[in-house]
Chain A
Amino acid sequence: MNAATASFLAYTAILIAIGLWSYRIVEKVPIAKYEQEFYAAGRGLGGVVVAMIIAGGLASAGTFIAGPGMTYEYGYSWVLINNFQIFMNLMLLAPIGIIVGIVARRVNAITYLDLFRARYQSKAIVVVLAILVTVFLLPYMATQFVGAARVISQMTGMGYFASLALGSLVVLVYCVLGGMRGTSIATLLQGIVITVGCIVLFIGTVHYAGGFERSTEILASQDLKFLSPTRNGEFPPAFAFSIACLSGYFVVGMPHAMLGALTYKNTKALKRGIWMGAILVLLWTLLLCVAGVIGRSIKPDLAVSDEICPWLAMHVVPEALGGIVLAGIVAGIQTTVAAMAIIITSSLARNLLKELKPGISGSAVKSASRLTMGACLAIAMALALLQPPLIQWIIFFSIGGLEAATFGPILLGMFWKRGNKWGALASISWGMIIYALGNTLAPQVGLLGTHPSLVSVVSAVILYVVVSLVTPEPREEVAHTFWGKPVEA
């Protein structure tokens, strides 16, 4: 066993211990408060953990594997595109964090769909969204497992399947046993490991390449496109802007990002979550993506671009530190999977189940939660066996689909009293149809070279407004619950 494998196994053992410890905490909670503890960690998370949950949840294999893979493949143009995601925490917590924090406490919402239920009072919306969240997040989760398996395989020399099992089973342990409590503690450890890993990898790569100047000269001699902000027109500003919308303005439509907004303790935690999250995502994104481009000047002939980060970790830093880097990359992926597992499970085992079986007991929901989480992770692992090539495009596909369906209903639903369930249903359906067409039969939906999600989201928002205005207003109690306080006339 080499030093890298040993340090990775030590990291994995700590995560399993966290899972077992969290399980003891969660099991002591009375059944009446079990769901709040399992899905929202008792709504008591501080700023550092909130920052890491949102940043770690949103910065997925797309940042840790595919981001450097894209910069390796396309050069510095993708450093620019990845930099649009730096303010994800700001764009989630500032726009809706406060109102979600207030309303979630009023209506005792502990899941993403609880908020939709309270706002639109529609069983249909909850059922449709539970299905959509599952359909889009499962392949997204699978890409995360693919990324993790590739890293572990490169590091340990194990086969793909064994690597997949090692990287994913540990998530299964701490998520299923510890729920959000286990996830939050694990995320804290993982955030530290990720950050140290990124710094070590960046310094090692720049040093190995002989500095920026030398690396830039080599890249220029390979292909000047690597130094262009648009790759000589291949990624025009319109495309870049649509990606900025996807990872900036529309990020409130990401269900697994909502975990931070549902679990933060108070506004001090919210503010720290915003700026600490920005620091973390800046470090992770910039260091890894620049390392990816510089990696091209060191090793120009990798068959699979997504393997540049693991390759660098194994070749440009000392062996033991390489283990920390790889543990950091896998940790970044695991935080995303954990957040998604919590969201899918809450959608199915709490919201969908309660809509279909209103009188279900607390202990039945408890069992269903763990069973559903185990099943979802197992399905995602099975999908990961397909081993797609560049996973970034699948990630964009899933993000775009989720945002097309939920951006309008969540953002306008939180601020516009006139918005109603008909507007939300129309917006979800339209967003899905246009997005599906844009990705299949009608690629021209991507106007001026933009990603299809831009037109899907904007047109779905317009439809939400129009349909809400021509259909009956929501009940008065909704306005009182969300934005007001009852006052005697």
Chain B
Amino acid sequence: MKFSEDPRIRVGRRCLALAWLYYSIYLLALMVFSYVFGTTPRFLGLPGWVAIGNIVVPVIFVAALIVVAEKLIPDIPLSGSDETSEEVE
């Protein structure tokens, strides 16, 4: 039998790359803002690195994830044939 790859597997690989890239950017932003910003000045009464790096940055990334997940991960059927038709919930 000749091997023919299911096109849905490519979607799986793209999702792997997307997740690792997104998390890496988040990690970079979190660490840069946390280690570079310093404890002063204060924002909202908190040390600057806490307010910006650990509250603002995570909130922005979580909000952006809604768009990223909904737009960049396609709807594909998980059972039956490997057609790339939309799946109805």
Check A487/B1 contact, CB under 8 A, given A83-B30, A95-B19: yes
Interface contact B3-A213, CB-CB below 8 Å: no
Chain A residues contacting B42 (CB-CB under 8 Å) are 213, 216
A240 and B46 within 8 A (CB):
no
The answer on a CB contact under 8 Å between A244 and B69 is no
A229 is an interface residue with CB less than 8 A from chain B: yes
Q: Are B76 and A80 in contact (CB under 8 A)?
A: no
Cβ of A265 within 8 Å of any chain B Cβ, yes or no, is yes
Query: Is there an interface contact between A98 and B8, defined as CB atoms closer than 8 Å?
Result: yes
Contact with A along B17-30 (1 / 0, CB 8 A): 01110110011001
User: Is A90's CB under 8 angstroms from B19's CB?
Assistant: yes
Q: Does A300 have its Cβ within 8 Å of any Cβ on chain B?
A: no
30 intermolecular pairs with C-beta atoms under 8 Å apart? A46-B89, A76-B47, A80-B34, A80-B53, A80-B54, A83-B30, A84-B30, A86-B26, A87-B19, A91-B19, A95-B20, A97-B15, A98-B12, A102-B9, A102-B12, A212-B46, A213-B45, A227-B47, A229-B35, A230-B35, A248-B27, A265-B89, A268-B87, A268-B89, A271-B73, A414-B12, A415-B16, A480-B1, A485-B82, A487-B1
- Give Cα A275 to B49, complex, Å: 25
For the complex with contacts A95-B16, A269-B89, 13 further pairs of A-B residues with Cβ separation under 8 Å are A87-B19, A87-B65, A90-B69, A94-B18, A94-B73, A98-B15, A227-B39, A229-B53, A237-B35, A267-B75, A274-B69, A275-B66, A282-B62
Shortest Cβ gap from B61 to chain A (Å) = 8
A90 to B20, CA, bound (A): 9
B73 contacts A270, C-beta separation under 8 Å: yes
Q: Which residue of B lies closest to A210 (CB)?
A: B45
Number of B residues near A (Cβ < 8 Å) is: 53
Would you give the shortest CB distance from A78 to chain B, in whole angstroms?
10
Q: Do A237 and B31 contact each other (CB < 8 Å), given the known contacts A86-B62, A275-B70, A282-B59?
A: yes
Complex Cα distance A487/B89, Å? 30
Cβ-neighbour of A286 out of B55, B69, B75, B76 (below 8 A):
B55
Per-position contact with B for A372-400: 1 when CB-CB < 8 Å, else 0? 00000000000000000000000000000
Of the candidates B20, B39, B44, B58, the one whose C-beta lies within 8 Å of that of A282 is B58
Contact B34 A229 (CB under 8 A): yes
A228: interface (CB < 8 Å): yes
- B residues in contact with A269, CB < 8 Å: 89
Indicate if the CB atoms of B69 and A216 lie closer than 8 Å. Answer: no
Report yes or no: B49 in contact with A105, Cβ–Cβ below 8 A: no
Q: What is the bound-complex CA distance between A101 and B87, given in angstroms?
A: 14
Main secondary structure of the interface of B (DSSP, over half): helix
CB < 8 Å neighbour of A105 from B3, B53, B66, B78:
B78
Instruction: Flag if B58 contacts A83 (CB, 8 Å).
Output: yes
**What are the residues of chain B within 8 A of A227 when measuring CB–CB?**
39, 47, 50
Category for how many chain A residues contact B? 35 or more
Q: Is A362 an interface residue when CB atoms closer than 8 A count as contact?
A: no
CB <8 Å contact, B76 and A98: yes
Q: Bound state CA distance, A293 and B39, in angstroms?
A: 15
A484 to B: closest C-beta gap in Å: 5
In the assembled complex, the Cα of A212 lies from the Cα of B51 at a distance in Å of 11
* Chain B residues near A358 (CB-CB < 8 A): none
Contact of B75 with A268 in the complex, beta carbons under 8 Å: yes
CB distance from A376 to the nearest CB of B (A): 30
With the chains together, A96 CA to B13 CA distance in Å?
8
Question: What residues of chain B lie closer than 8 Å to A343, measured between beta carbons?
Answer: none
CB pair B58–A76 under 8 Å, yes or no, is no
Whether B1 contacts A488 by the Cβ 8 Å rule is yes
A211 at the interface (CB under 8 A from B): yes
Residues on the A chain within 8 Å of B54, using CB: 76, 79-80, 83, 286
Binary CB contact string for chain A from 180 to 215 against chain B (1 if under 8 A, 0 otherwise): 000000000000000000000000000000011111
Output the nearest chain B residue to A482 by Cβ-Cβ distance. Answer: B9
C-alpha gap A485/B83 in the complex (Å):
12
By the criterion CB–CB under 8 Å, are A487 and B4 in contact?
Answer: yes
Q: Name the residue in B11, B61, B65 with the highest tally of chain A Cβ atoms < 10 Å from its Cβ.
A: B65
